[in-house]
Homo-oligomer: A and B are copies of this chain.
């Protein structure tokens, strides 16, 4: 199978597949005489695995680590579990930050209605320093 079929079957874009190869997440496949990449059906699994991990926003370096672990089947898997815990923490921190942002924006928005001029815009006023309606205020 050539790269475009592999792309469809694994869910990874063609460029992503080539990129993963360059980054060492998958090994370079055989080539046709014309230098086209040629994959066997085994490789679908690995690329699909990568794709699943990306869907959880695991970084390529984390995924690489997981792939390395998979080649050591009898190792204890605690590293994996810890990685997911850590990753979840990162996501939750990001989530908390975004929620603060959302809250700030929701407070900011009603400072202005649609019928003012720029120099009377309550939003711009709140964004300006020396304002007692600061963005970061409770």
Contact = CB atoms under 8 A, between A and B. Distances in A.
Interface stretch (A13-21, A22-30, A121-129): A121-129
Interface in A89-128: 91-92, 94-95, 98-99, 101-102, 104-106, 108-109, 112-121, 123-124, 127-128
A127 B53 contact: yes
Interface in A49-104: 49, 52-53, 55-57, 66, 69-70, 72-78, 80-81, 84-85, 87-88, 91-92, 94-95, 98-99, 101-102, 104
B56 A135 contact: yes
A74 B85 CA distance: 53
Contact of A56 (B56, B87, B108, B112): B108
A121 to B, nearest CB: 4
Contacts of A52: 127-129, 134-136
A106 B119 CA distance: 48
B87 A91 contact: no
Most chain B beta carbons < 10 A, residue from A55, A109, A127: A127
**Top 7 closest A-B pairs, CB basis?**
A77-B121, A73-B119, A48-B129, A88-B105, A52-B127, A95-B98, A77-B118
12 contacts: A52-B129, A55-B135, A56-B105, A74-B119, A75-B118, A76-B117, A80-B112, A80-B121, A81-B123, A84-B109, A88-B106, A91-B98
